[in-house]
């Protein structure tokens, strides 16, 4: 049912000018640093100590074509930069790493130890000797091509973008439509920006409904300017799960085991790129390489946001402007990663959790924020936070002229906003719910609910959290609460098309179908072009045997809504119920033209094929139907019928067993299975199944008669006689039972 739609203000946009990207991940070329100089050999040399250090901490950026401004791959190069190397390492300016040591243990931490720093200092002081060249490790190789091997799919930006030589930073959103017709799971992604030096960060968002492309039909091929974007996540609860954050020194993003992300036909990737003019005109383009896996996700993480943009109003000159937010977790989670985000005035960024036992657990501390070095940080080990923990963020902003990053000197008043000179206060967490609640509901719905309530406590009228809260309640099966939430939304945003439709669906799910009908009609009256409310109204009418009302709505939709298989198959059901089989069949076929997997069309065409004794056709259609809805007992039963008619009794029995696992108390399924088993010659099992059917419906004369036939075939004449008599007791004019009884040999 097209009932709930999710709108998420998923904003991971980042501010401007990154002179370089934050942390680098070095894979495949880490050389163990040798122990510091011993007493026998006090000389610190490039070959023995410094090269291994530089190769594992510096050259991911400092190689030709890399994000760093020069290469440090050779001794000659290192020699040229030696004194600066000593300076920038002792000040911990390089390698770039923002988090304070001891406030969160992060994977790929890029921090030199005090010993390493001392070693570099000593090397520079003693004249930077090369040492034994033969003892030096080989320099790592950075390939220009795909580092992770040939991708399974490469997406390319439609039209390259011409970046001017100078001027302010450019933020551009490039849409990359996913061109395949099958769903794929993505275990890794690699991005090749045409010119790495001008691309400072990129965020990738998945637009499940291609909504961004629809919002910008003219522009999307050239890239749409803007730092932030909002996408419509469609009807399903399908929250963002993975940080798809890229920076130049980490070209490959490999997801942890069991946590691939998904692309479906019709999805778009949106590449949100931050470009910085380099001094000469450049062409920005990008390729995204995707690596597939056959393994669907076994773990479902979710991205959660804390923020408090509405509190950002920083007077000029203010040095310690504090912004806070807190979110209480309704379920146990493991925090896998964290992404703090502010713009140029951010100074000190803190995040921690207060556990239910009042213990404080640090998640991250960045004492000297620098937007140019922002990054997603992944924990080396997941951080467990029990239900009831409160996650806090506390950001301090410095809007004085002492802040070297302040874009305005003299300072000006700054508020939250979309431009880089505006501010932001965001904290994203990647969390994995653990210790799933017993009621089996998706725990992410509870996280969503908590998140939206927190959002509403700051912005009570914002339509996005109002929608998402109501939908989260509906998703939890709390239909009455959802009704209240949609009514509240509609009081604030009267006549909203989508909310009216969703209110209708929530009313319908809570059992009040009359109010539901009224609400759909109200939606249609206010928005005659609406398709969702018409669809729901038509389905509702069909369910209540109002075929002509349903037919009218479906026909209107065929005229005014985009080609939709469900509309054709819905109309097909209407026509079939009116006995117009030929017209119904045409509609079902039209549905399959649009969507070869439309369940309603497959199921009903299969049914028609069965009725017209075309078992081969029925098998094909119903097999596909069962693949679409493996949990639909009716579909298995129909397919069993098609197999039985084709003489495949073994397959029929297997389908009936599937149906029985889904619907164990349906006596008809046991009776049919008994029949299939009997045709396959499995008499004892057939008797057993018939008895199960009788156990579920004791008063069915046919069951008793059939049981008698089986008992007689098994040579149990006395039992058979009892069975036929039982049938006749229930239905004295049961002709078959009477004839069967007469055929039995006399006692």
Q: Give the residues lining the site for ligand HEC (CB under 6 A).
A: 19-21, 24, 57-58, 60-62, 67-69, 81, 84-85, 88-89, 94-96, 110, 249
Instruction: Assess whether the previous peptide bond of 636 is cis (omega < 30° from 0).
Output: no
| Orientation angle between helical segments 581-594 and 599-611, nearest 10 degrees | 140
User: In whole angstroms, how close is the CB of 34 to ligand HEC at the nearest point?
Assistant: 16
Nearer to ligand HEC, 112 or 383 (CB): 112
Which 3 state secondary structure label does DSSP give 159? coil
Backbone dihedral region for residue 304 (phi beyond 0: left; psi -120 to 50: alpha; all else: beta): beta
Nearer to ligand HEC, 378 or 670 (CB): 378
User: In whole angstroms, how close is the CB of 61 to ligand HEC at the nearest point?
Assistant: 3
Backbone dihedral region for residue 554 (phi beyond 0: left; psi -120 to 50: alpha; all else: beta): alpha
User: In whole angstroms, how close is the CB of 189 to ligand HEC at the nearest point?
Assistant: 19
Residue of minimal Cβ distance to ligand HEC: 20
Question: Up-side HSE of residue 371: CA atoms within 13 Å toward CB?
Answer: 26
Q: Which residues contact 19 (CB under 8 A, 6 or more apart)?
A: 200, 276, 372
Cα–Cα distances (Å) from 409 to 317, 347, 401, in that order, read 10, 17, 6
Q: What is the 3-state secondary structure (H, E, C) of 533-556?
A: HHHHHHHHHHHCCCHHHHHHHHHH
User: In whole angstroms, how close is the CB of 339 to ligand HEC at the nearest point?
Assistant: 16
Nearer to ligand HEC, 192 or 444 (CB): 192
- Per DSSP, 140 falls in state P
Which of 191, 152, 418 has its CA nearest to residue 284? 191
Nearer to ligand HEC, 19 or 631 (CB): 19
Cα–Cα distances (Å) from 218 to 204, 221, 224, 640, 653, in that order, read 21, 8, 10, 51, 56
DSSP of 77-139: HHHHHHHHHHHHHHTT-SS---SPTTSS-BTT-----HHHHHHHHHHHHTT-----GGGSPPP
Retrieve residue 54's tokens. Answer: 């530089």
State the Cα–Cα distance between residues 441 and 446, nearest whole angstrom: 9
User: In whole angstroms, how close is the CB of 47 to ligand HEC at the nearest point?
Assistant: 17
User: In whole angstroms, how close is the CB of 480 to ligand HEC at the nearest point?
Assistant: 53
User: In whole angstroms, how close is the CB of 98 to ligand HEC at the nearest point?
Assistant: 11
Retrieve residue 490's tokens. Answer: 């509609």
**Burial (CB count <10 Å: 0-12, 13-18, 19+), residue 597:** middle
State the Cα–Cα distance between residues 703 and 86, nearest whole angstrom: 91
User: In whole angstroms, how close is the CB of 430 to ligand HEC at the nearest point?
Assistant: 21
User: In whole angstroms, how close is the CB of 376 to ligand HEC at the nearest point?
Assistant: 14
User: In whole angstroms, how close is the CB of 160 to ligand HEC at the nearest point?
Assistant: 23
């Amino acid at each position: 049912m097209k009932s709930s739609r999710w709108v998420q203000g998923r904003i991971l946009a980042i501010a401007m000018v990154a002179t370089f990207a934050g942390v680098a991940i070095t894979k495949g070329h880490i050389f163990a640093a040798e122990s510091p100089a011993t007493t026998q050999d006090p000389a610190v040399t490039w070959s023995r100590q410094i090269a291994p250090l530089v190769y594992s901490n510096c050259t991911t950026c400092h190689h030709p074509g890399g994000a760093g401004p020069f290469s440090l791959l050779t001794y000659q190069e290192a020699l040229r930069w030696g004194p600066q190397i000593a300076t920038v390492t002792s000040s911990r300016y390089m390698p770039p790493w923002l988090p304070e040591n001891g406030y969160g243990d992060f994977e790929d931490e890029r921090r030199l130890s005090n010993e390493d720093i001392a070693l570099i200092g000593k090397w520079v002081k003693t004249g930077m000797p090369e040492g034994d060249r033969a003892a030096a490790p080989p320099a790592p190789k950075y390939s220009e091509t795909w580092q992770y091997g040939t991708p399974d799919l490469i997406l390319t930006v439609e039209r390259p973008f011409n970046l001017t030589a100078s001027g302010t930073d450019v933020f551009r959103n490039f849409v990359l439509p996913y061109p395949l017709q099958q769903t794929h799971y993505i275990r890794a992604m690699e991005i090749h920006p045409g010119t790495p030096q001008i691309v400072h960060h990129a965020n990738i968002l998945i637009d499940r409904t291609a909504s961004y492309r629809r919002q910008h039909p003219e522009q999307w091929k050239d890239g749409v300017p803007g730092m932030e974007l909002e996408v419509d996540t469609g009807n399903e609860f399908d929250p963002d799960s993975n940080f798809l954050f890229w920076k130049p020194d980490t070209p490959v993003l490999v997801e942890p085991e069991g946590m691939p992300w998904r692309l479906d036909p019709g999805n778009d990737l949106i590449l949100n790129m931050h470009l910085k003019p380099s001094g000469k005109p450049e062409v920005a383009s990008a390729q995204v390489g995707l690596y597939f896996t056959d393994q669907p996700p076994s773990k479902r993480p979710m991205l959660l946001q804390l923020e408090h943009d509405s509190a950002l109003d920083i007077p000029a000159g203010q040095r310690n402007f504090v912004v806070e937010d807190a979110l209480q977790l309704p379920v146990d989670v493991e925090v896998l990663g964290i992404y703090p985000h502010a713009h140029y005035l951010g100074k000190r960024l803190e995040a921690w959790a207060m556990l239910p036992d009042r213990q404080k657990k640090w998640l991250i501390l960045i004492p000297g924020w620098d937007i140019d070095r922002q990054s997603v940080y992944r924990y080396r080990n997941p951080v467990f936070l029990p239900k009831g923990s409160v996650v806090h963020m506390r950001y301090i902003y410095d809007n004085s002229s002492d802040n070297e990053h302040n874009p305005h000197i003299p300072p000006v008043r700054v508020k939250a906003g979309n431009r880089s000179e505006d501010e932001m206060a965001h904290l994203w967490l990647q969390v994995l719910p653990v210790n799933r609640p017993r009621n089996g509901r998706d725990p992410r719905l509870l996280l969503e609910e908590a998140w939206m309530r927190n959002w509403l406590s700051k912005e009570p009228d914002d339509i996005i959290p109002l929608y998402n809260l109501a939908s989260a309640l509906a998703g939890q099966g709390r239909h009455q609460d959802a009704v209240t939430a949609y009514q509240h939304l509609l009081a604030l945003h009267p006549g909203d098309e989508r909310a009216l439709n969703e209110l209708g669906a929530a009313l319908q799910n809570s059992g009040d179908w009359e109010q539901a009908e009224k609400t759909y009609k109200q939606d249609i009256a206010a928005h005659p072009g609406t398709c969702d409310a018409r669809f729901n109204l038509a389905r509702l009418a069909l369910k209540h045997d109002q075929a002509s009302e349903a037919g009218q709505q479906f026909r209107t939709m065929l005229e005014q809504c985009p080609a939709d298989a469900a509309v054709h198959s819905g109309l097909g059901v209407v026509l079939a119920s009116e006995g117009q089989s030929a017209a119904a069949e045409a509609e079902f076929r039209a549905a399959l033209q649009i969507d070869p997997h439309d369940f309603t069309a497959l199921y009903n065409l299969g049914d028609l094929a069965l009725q017209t004794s075309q078992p081969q056709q029925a098998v094909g259609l119903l097999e596909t139907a069962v693949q679409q809805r493996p949990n639909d007992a009716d579909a298995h039963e129909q397919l069993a019928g098609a197999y039985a008619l084709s003489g495949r009794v073994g397959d029929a029995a297997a389908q009936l067993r599937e149906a029985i696992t889904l619907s164990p108390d349906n006596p008809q399924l046991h009776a049919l299975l008994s029949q299939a088993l009997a045709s396959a010659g499995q008499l004892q099992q057939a008797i057993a199944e018939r008895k199960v059917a009788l156990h579920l419906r004791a008063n069915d004369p046919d069951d008793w008669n059939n049981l008698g036939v089986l008992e007689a075939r098994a040579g149990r004449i006395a039992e058979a006689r009892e069975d036929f008599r039982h049938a006749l007791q229930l239905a004295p004019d049961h002709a078959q039972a009477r004839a069967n009884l007469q055929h039995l040999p006399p006692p």
